[in-house]
Amino acid sequence: MELTVWTYEGPPHVGAMRIATAMKGVHYVLHAPQGDTYADLLFTMIERRDHRPPVTYTTFQARDLGKDTAELFKNAAREAYERFRPDAMLVGASCTAELIQDDPGGLARALNLPVPVVPLELPSYQRKENWGAAETFYHLVRGILTATQTEAAAERPANRPVSCNILGPTALGYRHRDDLTEITRLLGVMGIAVNVTAPMGATPADIARIPEADFNVVLYPETADTTARWLKRAFRQPYTTVVPIGVGATREFVAEVAELAGIDPAKARDEIESRLPWYSRSVDSNYLTGKRVFVFGDATHAIAAARVASEELGFEVVGLGTYSREFARDVRAAAERHGVEALITDDYLEVEDRVQELQPEMVLGTQMERHIAKRLGIPCAVISAPVHVQDYPARYSPVMGFEGANVLFDTFVHPLVMGLEEHLLGMFRDDFEFNDEARPSHLGGGQRVADTAPSDENTASDELNWAGEAESELKKVPFFVRGKARRNTEAYARERGIATITIETLYDAKAHFGK
């Protein structure tokens, strides 16, 4: 475990909270000290939920460690059942309470509560939030199904309509609510009924009906892949492997679903389409084509965003990475397709170093990459959790399906500077609002970081001199690539032992790096 001021994922019990909060009729009793009781903040402030998460804490204090903390847990579990009367309960320990080894699962079983009690063993010092969510969902589904029926394929009448389950959407998920609406609508157009959606909106009784469907739609592998694999083994339910983010992936998703359902996919393709293909062809080619982008996030969204950026908008993916170590192999395979080296890390400082090294023209990432990009003066769009409150918009804003592709077009394109805008900025360079010292308004106020940051932390800034005419010529370069031009020129000059950068050096460096 490493101390840090920022983490891409919380501990695994936060993942368990996301499952419990997404469902109905489920309550989570968490053995935790004061200080680990922050669920309300996560779900009511960041996600703007209109009800509190169904979590009860034991909230033991330092003075309780010399007493019977196990009894504190049993009392909390008993009182939570009496107060909330849930249909099922989850019990577990936070990262701090894990150290005292009170065994919440065994203690809860000893209470003989009249509802299913699912014990969670989530190793906080080896695993993180998404894994915790996946494990919680898996154990909850398996616990309920094995209690209600044997692990054998359910008999599905041949004459009933084709149906599927949608698995994966949780509380505190990036656009999960709107993605669910969009994919449910898409399946409806195809004539496929949704049997159960879980965990979002599901009750324990709904979980018991999961085997009745013909197949499962896995929207978020980080959460639902483990459960889908078990359902395939136990009930012979196949599941989808294509995540419908972007026009190309959504078309492939429709084809995969149609094959599993044994129907013609043409209706969905004909009746629902995206504006992204036409929009990306219709805009100024200088606006999109060849823009160098760096992509980082959870595995599902990072892989999808890189594909959309490259195949549907004409960007060049110069970097791709994830903090989802469980899906590192998938990200490495995607990075190889783009001809780049994957960055697998949960250290935001490593991500910042890679961004500085690659000098992309745009960053697609998480809330942390938004901060990194703003500090470096690079346009950025958020495409993955972790996110902050502004990324839970009141408007309908999915990223999946054909409408999601429209949202992605806007998300990726709006932070950029259009060709006409670039021309006008050049024309009005001396204007008080657009002069070279004025930072672009969409990147915040203050001094332009990209122009002033040293080109190499290990090199003194006074080693090189810029001739006046070279400085003037550099200012003709658009502001959003000027920092890169300065760094490239200085690197070129150092390699050749040039002490004073002239116009000739500037253009020689441009020719050198343009090869």
User: What is the sign of the dihedral through the CA atoms of 425, 426, 428 and 430?
Assistant: positive
The strand order across the sheet containing 193-198 reads 193-198, 163-167, 215-218
Helix count and strand count (H, E) for the chain? 22, 14
Q: What is the Cα 206 distance to its own chain's centre?
A: 27
The rounded distance, in Å, linking the Cα atoms of 320 and 335 is 6
H or E stretch including 318? strand 316-322
Residue listed under structure tokens 């699962």: 105
Please answer whether residues 153 and 235 qualify as being in contact, where contact means their C-beta atoms are separated by less than 8 angstroms.
Answer: yes
Question: Catalytic pick from 40, 284, 431, 436?
Answer: 284
H or E stretch including 492? helix 479-495
Q: What is the Cα 154 distance to its own chain's centre?
A: 34
Fill in the DSSP letter of residue 25: S
Single-letter code of the amino acid located at 92: G
The rounded distance, in Å, linking the Cα atoms of 98 and 109 is 18
Active site residue 284: yes
End-to-end CA distance of the chain: 44
Burial 283-322 (b: 16+ CB within 10 A, else e): beeebbeebbbbbbbbbbbbbbbbbbbbebbbbbbbbbbb
Q: Of 414, 222, 421, which is closest to residue 322 (Cα–Cα)?
A: 222
C-alpha to C-alpha distances, 237 to 133, 148, 228, 424, nearest whole angstrom: 21, 18, 8, 58
What are the start-end ranges of the H helices in 164-264? 176-189, 204-208, 221-235, 247-261
What are the start-end ranges of the H helices in 209-343? 221-235, 247-261, 266-271, 276-282, 285-288, 299-307, 328-337
Please answer whether residues 76 and 68 qualify as being in contact, where contact means their C-beta atoms are separated by less than 8 angstroms.
Answer: no
Single-letter code of the amino acid located at 210: I
Strand 362-365 with 500-501, pairing: unpaired
The rounded distance, in Å, linking the Cα atoms of 170 and 21 is 8
The rounded distance, in Å, linking the Cα atoms of 142 and 208 is 9
Single-letter code of the amino acid located at 11: P
The rounded distance, in Å, linking the Cα atoms of 173 and 157 is 35
Catalytic residues: 284
